[in-house]
Amino acid sequence: MSREKPDQCWPGADNTRIPYRLIHDDEIYRQEQRLIFQGPTWHYLALAVEVPDPGSYLTTFIGETPIIVSRDDKGELHGLINRCQHKGALVAVESCGRASTLRCLYHGWSYHLNGDLRMVPFEKGIEGKGGMPAGFVKAEHGLTRIRLDVYQGLVFGSLSNDVEALETYLGPDMCAHITRVFHKPVVVLGYYHQVMHSNWKLYMENARDSYHATILHAFYATFKLNRLTMGGGLVVNHDGWNTMNYSIGASVQDGHYDPQELRAVMADVGLADPSLLNHRQEFADGITIAIQSIFPTCVHQQIYNTLAMRQVVPQGPDQAELHWTFFGYADDDAELRQLRLQQANLIGPAGYVSMEDGVIGEYVQRGTAGESAGSSALLQMGGSAIETVKDSRANETTVRGFWQGYRTLMGQRSD
Amino acid sequence: MIDSETHRRIQHLHNRYVRVIDDDQLEQWPQLFTAGGNYQVTTRENHERGFPLALMSCKGRGMMLDRITGLRKINVYEPHRYSHQISALEISAQPAGGFRCISNFLVVRIMHTGASMLFASGIYLDVVVQDEDGTLRFAERTVITDSRQTDTLLVIPL
């Protein structure tokens, strides 16, 4: 029997039904590498302050492709594929460093930080014998350069020459929100790295999903840090590819969260030391939680005074690694810096709020194992539209937006 | 120089720490610290690069107790337990009183399904003091994991 083609696996034209096979199928996973990660998309790679000086570099990924972000001796940023032009070995192995050249350990080919090939050992052979042929030109064998652009100190890269300009790709509301947070110099305060045993797309759905946030994450609702009954909204740009969920803590209303029905509200639970929840209003718009998702794998968060970038790296159909870069402002006063670090107890792999996202995708991955063709998730909260919604967050419009980007690039139709 | 009685008492504190966590007597865990004690879990990556971010950071017993409330009542995760292996304990007396300790740990995580894995390895950096009631307690315990990765989540203290 011939195999069903991936482009026929969607039950409908809208994005209210998401086939489970998209998170299990090896062939679809391979296609994603080509059509999404090597396709016309921008990928968050680093903060520019992480490669501060000439000679600084760091290593990361676009999908599975290993990438170097480097700053050359003129101070210019470069995005390079981390793959020696000789035999394909990694050129940079450490997560970050400083170097005058990048040298492949295998046969010693070395490169300048702008990717140019600098030296090939025994290029001329030994005593005129062996070596590279006369026609070998080093200028033709530099590390492969990728497109790089920086928006407000966020470094994005693309493996496609056809991708639109970064600001157009992000969209006006996304640019405005990035500018809201990156309006002054930032400093990195540390990293988390979290391995999740689930498909990368489940994490990206989760980060856009306001519906789950105050139900799964009982810490949010119990301590009134985030409830769907607060003011807030869902913002969609670029046909849903990029989205933001936000809430305004001061506007919380009681009611609607019935402790009999939702485990999320625990009237009898209190904190022995409520100072954990101390925070400072640092944005004039009153937004206390804002989760921004840039298609395909970037999340930018403000949860009270915690600020972080998250990058999802796919590692097969059923594993992904989440990299968190936690930051503050260079001019933080000591008290605000301390508040950020204390509130870090809410986020990351051990976060009172975020830890659950590390496992909930795995529950879906395991729950849908052995799925039969045609079974799918149901995304009908708020209907089927993909649009900005400012009066309710009981809506899955932002999640449907992720799948809009996905279907557009994967060419998956329902016919 | 540490006398053998002090060494035994500090070793006992380390053993108690393992017992309360591995035998799920987590409500006892904050009692192994002084009232204002600090407990922090971070990675070697953050520690060596001078980044202050921690995975868990509890200042005082109240925040430690809240971590236990979190895992008992609030947070969602799959049932599991730990088996700690502690070794290479070194103790040095501090001129101002109290002791600095360093030891190695391995933590095996055993899921309710039976799946086991080496969940974490690293070192404990401690400051141990004699509390007002004469008991030795941790004034500081900094857990530094060798790996920068956390598999799935961290809810039970290391």
Comparing CB atoms, the residue among A219, A341, A360 nearest residue B57 is A341
Sorted by where each begins, the domain ranges of chain A are 43-150, 167-410
B150 interfacial to chain A (CB closer than 8 Å) = yes
The whole-angstrom distance between B93's CA and the closest CA on chain A is: 30
Q: What is the count of structural domains for chain B?
A: 1
A385-397, pLDDT tens digit by residue?
999 998 888 899 9
Q: Is B63 within 8 Å of A360 when comparing Cβ atoms?
A: no
Extract the tokens encoding A305: 């005074």
What single letter denotes the amino acid at residue A180?
Answer: R
Q: Which of A81, A49, A82 is nearest to A150 (CA)?
A: A49
The whole-angstrom distance between B53's CA and the closest CA on chain A is: 5
Comparing CB atoms, the residue among A196, A266, A349 nearest residue B154 is A349
A89 interfacial to chain B (CB closer than 8 Å) = no
Q: Burial, B84: exposed, middle or buried (Cβ in 10 Å; 0-12, 13-18, 19+)?
A: middle
For chain B, give the longest Cα–Cα distance: 49
Phi, psi values for residue A404, rounded to 5°: -65, -45
Q: DSSP of A364-398, one letter per residue? A: HHHHTTTPPTT-EEE--TT-S----BSS--S--HH
Residues of B whose CB is below 8 A from A309: none
Please give the share of chain A, as a percent, with pLDDT higher than 70. 94
Rounded CA separation B157/B51 (Å): 21
Contacts (Cβ under 8 Å, ≥6 apart) of A244: A173, A174, A177, A234, A235, A290, A291, A292, A293, A398
Rounded mean pLDDT, A284-306? 96
Q: Give residue B49's domain range.
A: 4-145
Rounded CA separation B19/B29 (Å): 9
pLDDT at A6 over 60: no
pLDDT bracket for residue A225 (50, 70, 90): confident
State the CATH number of the domain containing residue B73.
3.10.450.50
- Asked whether residue B150 is assigned to any structural domain, the reply reads no
The whole-angstrom distance between B87's CA and the closest CA on chain A is: 25
Rounded mean pLDDT, A129-152? 97
Per-residue pLDDT of chain B (158 residues; tens, 9 = 90+): 789 999 999 999 999 999 999 999 999 999 999 999 999 999 999 999 999 999 999 999 999 999 999 999 999 999 999 999 999 999 999 998 899 999 999 999 999 999 999 999 999 999 999 999 999 999 999 999 999 999 999 999 99
Report pLDDT for B62. 96
Question: pTM to 2 decimals?
Answer: 0.95
Angle at the Cα of A190 from the Cα atoms of A188 and A191, rounded to 5 degrees:
120
B155 interfacial to chain A (CB closer than 8 Å) = yes
Cis peptide leading into residue A296 (ω within 30°): yes
Rounded mean pLDDT, A258-280? 80
Q: In what order do the strands lie in the sheet with A231-237?
A: A231-237, A242-248, A289-294, A298-303, A306-314, A320-329, A186-196, B149-151
Q: Is B75 within 8 Å of A222 when comparing Cβ atoms?
A: no
B8 interfacial to chain A (CB closer than 8 Å) = no
Containing A172, the helix (H) or strand (E) segment is: helix A172-181
A49 interfacial to chain B (CB closer than 8 Å) = no
The whole-angstrom distance between A90's CA and the closest CA on chain B is: 21
Comparing CB atoms, the residue among A192, A216, A359 nearest residue B78 is A359
Question: Which of A87-96, A206-215, B147-156 bottoms out in mean pLDDT, i.e. has the lowest?
Answer: A206-215
pLDDT bracket for residue A51 (50, 70, 90): very high
- Asked whether residue B118 is assigned to any structural domain, the reply reads yes
Q: What is the third-level CATH fold of A167-410?
A: Naphthalene 1,2-dioxygenase Alpha Subunit; Chain A, domain 1 (3.90.380)
| Residue in chain A nearest B65 by alpha carbon | A272
Question: Which of B123 and A253 is assigned the larger pLDDT?
Answer: B123
Q: Burial, B61: exposed, middle or buried (Cβ in 10 Å; 0-12, 13-18, 19+)?
A: buried
Report pLDDT for B94. 94
Rounded CA separation A369/A372 (Å): 9
Tokens 């865990």 -> residue = B29
Asked if A412 contacts A27 with a C-beta cutoff of 8 angstroms, the reply is: no
Residues of A whose CB is below 8 A from B148: 191, 193
- Asked whether residue B108 is assigned to any structural domain, the reply reads yes
Residues of A whose CB is below 8 A from B153: 194, 349-350, 355-356, 358-359
- The 3-state DSSP class for residue A124 equals coil
Q: Burial, A55: exposed, middle or buried (Cβ in 10 Å; 0-12, 13-18, 19+)?
A: middle
Question: Which of A125 and A261 is assigned the larger pLDDT?
Answer: A125
Q: Is B75 within 8 Å of A352 when comparing Cβ atoms?
A: yes
Report pLDDT for A222. 82
pLDDT bracket for residue A2 (50, 70, 90): very low
> From 2.102.10.10, 3.20.20.210, 3.40.1440.10, 3.90.1150.10, which CATH number describes the A43-150 domain?
2.102.10.10
The DSSP bridge pattern shows strands A77-81 and A231-237 to be: unpaired
A328-363, pLDDT tens digit by residue?
999 999 999 999 999 999 999 999 999 999 999 999
What single letter denotes the amino acid at residue A26?
Answer: D
A233-245, pLDDT tens digit by residue?
999 999 999 999 9
Rounded CA separation A322/B2 (Å): 45
B42 interfacial to chain A (CB closer than 8 Å) = yes
Rounded mean pLDDT, A298-323? 98
Helix A357-367 / helix A200-208 crossing angle, nearest 10 deg: 120
- The 3-state DSSP class for residue A303 equals strand
Long-range contacts of A30-34 (CB under 8 A, 24+ apart): A31/A6, A31/A410, A32/A63, A32/A314, A32/A410, A33/A63, A33/A64, A33/A65
Rounded CA separation A209/A399 (Å): 6
Q: Is B76 within 8 Å of A360 when comparing Cβ atoms?
A: yes
Asked if A345 contacts B57 with a C-beta cutoff of 8 angstroms, the reply is: yes
Q: Is B51 within 8 Å of A188 when comparing Cβ atoms?
A: yes
A95 interfacial to chain B (CB closer than 8 Å) = yes
The whole-angstrom distance between B6's CA and the closest CA on chain A is: 33
Report pLDDT for A1. 35
What single letter denotes the amino acid at residue A171?
Answer: G
Question: Which of B23 and A254 is assigned the larger pLDDT?
Answer: B23
pLDDT bracket for residue A3 (50, 70, 90): very low
Average pLDDT, chain A: 93
Residues of B whose CB is below 8 A from A344: 53-54, 57
Containing B60, the helix (H) or strand (E) segment is: none
Residues of B whose CB is below 8 A from A356: 75-77, 153
Extract the tokens encoding A287: 């937004």
| Residue in chain B nearest A187 by alpha carbon | B51
Q: Burial, B114: exposed, middle or buried (Cβ in 10 Å; 0-12, 13-18, 19+)?
A: exposed
ipTM for the complex?
A: 0.96
Evaluate the CA torsion angle A14, A17, A23, A25 in order and state its sign: negative
Extract the tokens encoding A270: 């209190």
Q: Compute the count of residue pairs across chains A and B with CB atoms less than 8 Å apart.
A: 115
Q: Is B66 within 8 Å of A276 when comparing Cβ atoms?
A: yes
